[in-house]
């Protein structure tokens, strides 16, 4: 089946924020890796939740019943989105909080001397929590290197770090700094060869590529809807038996909650959860017919084709600009190994200065290390203020990419 082609003009009509202007010119959003814009349907769902079903869970009255129903519906949506079962889903304030919480839970089942592997590609939210629990439980944390030349993961180095004591291999599905997509199947195979859990950060991957925890063979997967057109929220998908067996901190009376829900502490943001469902449905609406999972599959094929074309356009545009120093892969033949998130430096201008000059023209980019501290250190970027990062999403247009390229050209 041919993937539907993305109608970007139609997509853009659904995002009120994309109509923003700056000094009379369109405002260009390349800040997506830090957070995306939301379609009207998401804001409407949140308003509906707040104005018409604003009650706590478990009551006999209609607003509480409706709040319960919305949360149950959201678990199904999150399961469709992450390739899991509804019982495997845990909601939380953001990915980082869930990453810390679940690492604390897992570490309570480990022995002193057990080992964890992280990677230099990871956001610090998939590294720092292991350093923290290692202190508490006497664990040893290793870090797999990235290749300095192209920002890909050094799989041989990762393999060499494995041991019979390895309990977790924590890695990102896509780098929020360099855009690199590491080889998931190979990493999962290595982790399984020593019986280690796979602990995947899908935060940066999710707006660009289709998640599927079960098919990818992942034990734990994290994502944040605010990166994929939803509200500020975090989601963990935890393999069912693991979700049932890991120790969870619960208030009394300790009612037995099913699986993933055991890791939801206190009252959740019902409005964000409702908005998340709308974001999943929005994405599915880009994918034609079939079940919601099938529509998401098709939508992501269309999103990927669109973003790959933007990536090729950007790489061709900056080709020959000697003042642009690209960090990470720049070979347009290797788009399978990256998403359309680009990190670079500009000769003679610190990243913060570049970001400021682009902001003056209504072009939003990030500068710094983006909490991908290990990559920033490995590439020797920390002392110089990090890098400039421009991220493309499915609502990015070729004309916006050309505008960015032109603006970068003028910095030379």
Ligand X SMILES: Cc1ncc(COP(=O)(O)O)c(C=O)c1O
The footprint of ligand X (CB under 6 A) covers 94-96, 123, 125, 172, 176, 201, 203-204, 224, 234
Measured from the CB of residue 98, what is the shortest distance to ligand X in angstroms? 8
Measured from the CB of residue 236, what is the shortest distance to ligand X in angstroms? 11
Closer Cβ to ligand X, 6 or 146, answer by number: 146
Closer Cβ to ligand X, 231 or 234, answer by number: 234
Measured from the CB of residue 227, what is the shortest distance to ligand X in angstroms? 7
Measured from the CB of residue 322, what is the shortest distance to ligand X in angstroms? 30
Measured from the CB of residue 124, what is the shortest distance to ligand X in angstroms? 8
- Residue 267's alpha-carbon distances to 60, 102, 310, in angstroms, are 17, 18, 41
120 closest CA partner among 280, 279, 328, 317: 328
Enter the tokens of residue 197.
Answer: 């859990």
Closer Cβ to ligand X, 301 or 373, answer by number: 373
| Residue at token pair 């999710």 | 206
Closer Cβ to ligand X, 203 or 401, answer by number: 203
Measured from the CB of residue 186, what is the shortest distance to ligand X in angstroms? 20
Measured from the CB of residue 125, what is the shortest distance to ligand X in angstroms? 4
Measured from the CB of residue 343, what is the shortest distance to ligand X in angstroms? 12
216 closest CA partner among 241, 235, 237, 233: 237
Enter the tokens of residue 167.
Answer: 């309990």
Closer Cβ to ligand X, 86 or 225, answer by number: 225
Enter the tokens of residue 251.
Answer: 């208030």
Closer Cβ to ligand X, 203 or 326, answer by number: 203
Q: Which residues contact 201 (CB under 8 A, 6 or more apart)?
A: 95, 99, 122, 123, 125, 126, 170, 171, 172, 173, 222
Instruction: Decide: 298 and 290 in contact? Cβ < 8 Å.
Output: yes
CA-CA distance, 412 to 402, in Å (whole number)? 16
Closer Cβ to ligand X, 166 or 224, answer by number: 224
Measured from the CB of residue 265, what is the shortest distance to ligand X in angstroms? 16
Closer Cβ to ligand X, 97 or 244, answer by number: 97
Instruction: Decide: 88 and 214 in contact? Cβ < 8 Å.
Output: no
Measured from the CB of residue 31, what is the shortest distance to ligand X in angstroms? 11
Closer Cβ to ligand X, 67 or 373, answer by number: 373
Q: Which residues contact 405 (CB under 8 A, 6 or more apart)?
A: 313, 314, 317, 318
Closer Cβ to ligand X, 191 or 203, answer by number: 203
Closer Cβ to ligand X, 179 or 287, answer by number: 179
Measured from the CB of residue 103, what is the shortest distance to ligand X in angstroms? 13
């Amino acid at each position: 089946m041919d993937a539907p082609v993305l109608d970007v003009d139609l997509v853009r009509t659904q995002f009120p924020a994309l109509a923003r202007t700056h000094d009379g010119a369109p405002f260009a959003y390349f800040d997506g890796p830090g957070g995306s814009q939301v379609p009207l349907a998401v804001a409407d769902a949140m308003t509906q939740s707040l104005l018409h079903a604003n009650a706590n869970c478990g009551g006999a009255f209609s607003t509480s019943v409706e709040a319960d129903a919305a949360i149950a519906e959201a678990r199904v949506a999150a399961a469709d989105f992450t390739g899991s079962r509804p019982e495997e889903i845990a909601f939380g304030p953001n990915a980082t909080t869930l990453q810390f919480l679940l690492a604390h839970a897992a570490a309570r089942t480990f022995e002193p001397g057990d080992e964890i592997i992280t990677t230099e590609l990871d956001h610090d939210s998939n590294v720092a929590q292991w350093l923290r629990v290692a202190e508490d439980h006497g664990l040893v944390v290793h870090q797999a290197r990235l290749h300095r030349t192209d920002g890909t993961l050094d799989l041989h180095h990762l393999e060499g770090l494995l041991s019979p004591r390895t309990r977790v291999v924590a890695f990102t599905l896509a780098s929020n700094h360099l855009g690199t997509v590491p080889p998931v199947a190979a990493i999962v195979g290595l982790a399984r060869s020593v019986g280690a859990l796979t602990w995947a950060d899908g935060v940066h991957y999710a707006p660009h590529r289709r998640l599927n925890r079960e098919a990818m063979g992942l034990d734990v997967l994290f994502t944040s809807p605010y990166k994929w057109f939803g509200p500020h929220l975090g989601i963990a998908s935890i393999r069912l038996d693991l979700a049932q067996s890991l120790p969870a901190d619960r208030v009394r009376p300790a009612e037995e909650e099913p699986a993933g829900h055991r890791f939801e502490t206190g009252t959740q943001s019902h409005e964000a959860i409702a908005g998340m469902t709308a974001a999943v449905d929005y994405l599915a609406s880009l994918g034609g017919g079939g079940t919601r999972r099938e529509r998401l599959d098709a939508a992501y094929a269309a999103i990927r084709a669109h973003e790959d074309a933007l990536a090729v356009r950007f790489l061709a545009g900056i080709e020959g600009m000697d003042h642009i120093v690209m960090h990470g892969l720049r070979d347009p033949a290797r788009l399978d190994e990256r998403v359309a998130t680009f990190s670079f430096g500009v000769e003679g201008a610190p990243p913060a200065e570049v970001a400021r000059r682009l902001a003056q023209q209504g072009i939003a980019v990030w500068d710094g290390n983006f909490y991908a501290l290990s990559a920033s250190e490995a590439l020797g970027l920390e002392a110089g203020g990090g890098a400039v990062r421009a991220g493309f999403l499915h609502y990015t247009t070729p004309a916006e990419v050309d505008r960015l390229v032109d603006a970068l050209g003028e910095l030379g």
